[in-house]
Amino acid sequence: MKRVFALLLTLIVIFTTFGCSPAIIDIPISNSTVIIKTPEASNVTEAPVVTVMPVVTLLPTLEIVPTQTPTIKPTATALPTVKPTEKPTSTPAATEETRTSAPTSSDGKKYIALTFDDGPSTRATGRILDALEKNHAKATFFVVGMSDPPNKDSESLKAKKYALMQRAVSLGCEIGNHTMEHKHLPRLSESEIRQQVEGVNEIVKDATGSSTKLVRPPYGDKSQVVYDAVDYPLILWSIDTLDWDTRNADKTYDAVIDNARDGDIVLMHDLYTTTADAAERIIPKLIREGFTLVTVSELFKIKGIKLEAGKYYRNAY
Ligand SMILES: [Zn+2]
């Protein structure tokens, strides 16, 4: 009995001191199951964050894009702001060589520069050169890169134009630069203007062996950008025959003969047969009137006016 009593006593002692021992065994298991569940739960909570939310938030940012296009429009309206700058820059006297008095040449003679734009052309340039040669006179031809844009010259036409420029130079005439594509230069960037000018320079150098020294901006359009971009004097005119508009030889002839005076620069175009008709009469008539027909560079040299890059000149008065 003593042994039975002792056994019961130890069992009682064990149960009273370690009564929670069976629970101790469960707790780690239950704890481990809790630990496993929490990452799963966190994975689940992450999923909605990743899926819908960013897509929803992207849409409004896409809607912002159209609101950015109106902000581009103001930069487009910056274009018109370029135009007003053309007007003030076209009038500043600071860049123009204006002279109140017309200095007479030291030799007392009258000089005039006939200029022909937009060529060379097979229709009129050759005939004008014939008239100049016949009368021992000179003129200046402001040539373009392409006579009939957007079509480029064929090889045979290119050869003819090269021959015309070579003949002009052989007669003592001057080849000027009227830009590649006859665009409004103030509407172009500085680099585009340079390309327009240098393109013709390359052509003329290829044809005649020397590059051009003068630039005539198409339409007489100029601006500060043009002054900055063109590294040559800009040559305008003092007599506009409007030959391109009238296509009338008599009117072209009258426009020159009725207005010609010492130091003038005359604008014509060697694109029209009517201009060639007029030139055949203008050239000998001016000589009879006492004029010496010279190139633009010669005219300014005779008048003692130094031509400068980035400035424009209407006459050599
Ligand atoms: Zn022109």
Instruction: Tell me, yes or no, whether 138 lies in a domain.
Output: yes
Sign of the CA dihedral running 257, 147, 206, 235? positive
For the stretch 21-39, pLDDT in tens is: 333 332 333 333 333 333 3
Instruction: Tell me, yes or no, whether 112 lies in a domain.
Output: yes
Instruction: Tell me, yes or no, whether 249 lies in a domain.
Output: yes
Distance 298 CA to ligand 1 centre (A): 22
**Which residues participate in catalysis according to the annotation?**
117, 269
For the stretch 275-291, pLDDT in tens is: 999 999 999 999 999 99
Instruction: Tell me, yes or no, whether 297 lies in a domain.
Output: yes
Most confident option among 66-75, 141-150, 175-184 = 175-184
Domain holding 283: CATH number?
3.20.20.370
**Average pLDDT of span 141-151:** 73
Q: Is the pLDDT of residue 269 over 90?
A: yes
Per DSSP, the residues of 102-148 read: -PPPTT--EEEEEEEES---TTTHHHHHHHHHHTT---EEEE-S-SS
Whole-model pTM: value is 0.68
Instruction: Identify the band that residue 293 occupies on the pLDDT scale cut at 50, 70 and 90.
Output: very high
Please name which of 291, 301, 247 lies closest in space to residue 269, comparing C-alpha atoms: 247
Instruction: Tell me, yes or no, whether 206 lies in a domain.
Output: yes
pLDDT at 2 (0 to 100): 54
What range does the domain containing 263 cover?
Answer: 99-313
Instruction: Tell me, yes or no, whether 185 lies in a domain.
Output: yes
Distance 116 CA to ligand 1 centre (A): 9
Residues with C-beta atoms within 5 A of ion ligand 1? 117-118, 218
Instruction: Tell me, yes or no, whether 154 lies in a domain.
Output: yes
Instruction: Tell me, yes or no, whether 7 lies in a domain.
Output: no
Distance 109 CA to ligand 1 centre (A): 30
Residue 248 to residue 151: CA distance in whole angstroms: 27
pLDDT at 155 (0 to 100): 83
Give how many domains the chain has, as a whole number: 1
Ranges 105-119, 127-141, 199-213: which has the least confidence: 105-119
Contact 101, 263 (CB under 8 A): no
